[in-house]
Amino acid sequence: MLVTPITPIIGAEINDICLANLSNDEVAHIKELFIQHMVLVFRDQELTREQHKAFSRNFGELHIHPSKRSAKGGGMQTKLNKSEVSDDPELFIIDTKPDSKQSNGEAWHSDVSCEEIPPLASLLYVTKTPENDGGDTMFANMYEAYDALSDDLKNLLMRKYAFHDGEIDLRNYGIKLKPGQLYPKASHPVIPAHPETNRPYLFVNGSFTSHIEGIAKWESDMLLQGLYRFVAASPKLQCRVKWHKNTLTMWDNRCVQHHAIRDYVGYSRYGERVSVLAEQGPQAFFQDQ
């Protein structure tokens, strides 16, 4: 396989490989590249849904999005684009029509960080791109975001926890829970340790994080808004992926945030996402580790 880094700190394109037919050695190498680059882009892949899921299972058990868990105790079905309905709970459909008012992921975020155990990785397979060549996705390295903070700010955030509330994201799409409906909420360390590298990273995002616990709301708002603006306004943390038809991109949902650029109003875009469960939720990093 041919590996071409997108930037020195995040992302790589992987060519000359067929994800539907991998050897054990190729899978092991992809796992190493995933930890190293955090975002992997595979072009020209002809995948069925089962092949997409089979590749994803190399990284762990598949995650079921909370909007698909209504049959398992109080979840709810939420969908921005109701024209494409999949009965497969392991698939999250992204079907943006020309007249859609919104699309998924139009803000910097980590996928469903409101879960007690957020997904380890997301794998999005795009089979239709907008005719105006828009619809790129930005990714940001949260290791580097943490490293760029001052020592004083690192020390302040090190032992803090933040509350992640899925209803914040629902409200962004104009969705309100009805009586009896539930959506995930969870408390996570602001600075977790990555389970495979032990490196600290920043784990708060505007789509799901409600507040930093144990401090006044105004202090929490000041810190969180500053951190969000820092990530969004720091190109040195980021890479940009341009989608082509039949591209699969996977990212480490623990130490990477992403932002889907909606610059294709009047055009359509279609993709299917599979996510992989982590073995445990984020664990706090401490300076003396």
Residue 73, CB half-sphere, CA atoms under 13 Å: how many?
Answer: 1
Contact 274, 156 (CB under 8 A): no
Residue 288 lies in a domain: no
Question: Per-residue pLDDT for 262 more than 50?
Answer: yes
More confident call, 50 vs 84: 50
Question: Per-residue pLDDT for 126 more than 80?
Answer: yes
Mean pLDDT of 258-286: 95
Question: Per-residue pLDDT for 70 more than 80?
Answer: no
pLDDT given at position 171:
81
Residue 177 lies in a domain: yes
User: At 15, phi and psi to the nearest 5?
Assistant: -120, 170
Contacts 24+ apart (CB under 8 A), 141-144: 141/9, 141/10, 141/38, 141/237, 141/238, 141/255, 141/256, 142/201, 142/202, 142/203, 142/231, 142/255, 142/256, 142/257, 143/194, 143/199, 143/200, 143/201, 143/255, 144/9, 144/10, 144/236, 144/237
What is the tally of structural domains in the chain?
1
Contact 227, 136 (CB under 8 A): no
pLDDT given at position 86:
63
Residue 160 lies in a domain: yes
pLDDT given at position 78:
45
Going by their DSSP bridges, the two strands 39-42 and 12-15 should be labelled as parallel
Binned at pLDDT 50, 70 and 90, residue 168 comes out as: confident
Question: Per-residue pLDDT for 79 more than 90?
Answer: no
pLDDT given at position 40:
98
pLDDT given at position 173:
72
pLDDT given at position 288:
60
CA distances from 84 to 87, 94, 95, 270 (A): 10, 9, 7, 10
Residue 234 lies in a domain: yes
Residue 154 lies in a domain: yes
Residue 284 lies in a domain: no
87 vs 102: CA distance, rounded Å: 23
Question: Per-residue pLDDT for 85 more than 90?
Answer: no
Question: Per-residue pLDDT for 8 more than 50?
Answer: yes
The CATH number of the domain where 179 resides is what? 3.60.130.10
Instruction: Give me the domain span that covers residue 6.
Output: 2-278
Question: Per-residue pLDDT for 219 more than 90?
Answer: yes
Q: Percent of the chain at pLDDT above 90?
A: 81
When the pLDDT of each residue in the chain is averaged and rounded to a whole number, the result is 91
Residue 257 lies in a domain: yes
Mean pLDDT of 125-132: 96
Mean pLDDT of 9-34: 97
pLDDT given at position 140:
98
DSSP codes of every residue in 165-218: EHHHHHHHTT--PPTT----EEEEESSEEPTTT--B-----TTTEEEETTS-HH
Residue 285 lies in a domain: no
Binned at pLDDT 50, 70 and 90, residue 177 comes out as: confident
pLDDT given at position 77:
45
